[in-house]
Amino acid sequence: MLLIHCPYCDETLPEAEFAYAGEAHILRPDNPADVSEEEWRDFLFIRTNAKGPHYERWRHIHGCGRFFNAVRNTVTDRFLTTYKAGEPRPELDTLTEDGQ
């Protein structure tokens, strides 16, 4: 089982308390009627599908209930970091595989 650090609880906890919630930092267009069909399709369906570090959302559903963001390596399944929703995305070169 993966261990995930919740930035709100400030504890490292079993994966069973969390739910995956898709790629992070995907912004809904302010006015969907103003964007082209291609842009709307991209917002709805097109994802990075990264092999390696991936910015993604998780929810501490059986805990504090909060959504937060994480960077996880999709090859090794290691979490590089987790951070609160609304915080800027961390640069990859500041992160290590140890999650430090």
Partner 1 sequence: MTVHVDLLTARELASSRAATVSLLAPVVRFSLRVGADERDALSSALGVPLPTRIGQCSRQGETEILSLGPDEWLVLASESEAAGIIEACAAIYADAPHSLTDISDREVTLLIEGPKAGELMTLGCPRDLDRLPDGEARRTVFDGVSVVLWRDGAERFHIDVWRSFAPHVMSLLTTGCGELALE
The closest of 83, 94, 90 to 8, measured between CA atoms, is 83
Interactions with partner 1, residue window 61-100 (CB under 8 A): 61-66
Interactions with Zn ion, residue window 34-63 (CB under 5 A): 60, 63
For the residues of 17-41, what is the DSSP string, one character each?
G-EEEEESS-PPPS-GGGS-HHHHH
- Considering only 5, 9, 21, 43, the residue that binds partner 1 (CB under 8 A) is 9
Residue labelled with tokens 């987790």: 82
Residues found near partner 1 in the complex (CB under 8 A): 1, 8-10, 13-14, 16-17, 61-66
Residues found near Zn ion in the complex (CB under 5 A): 6, 8-9, 60, 63-64
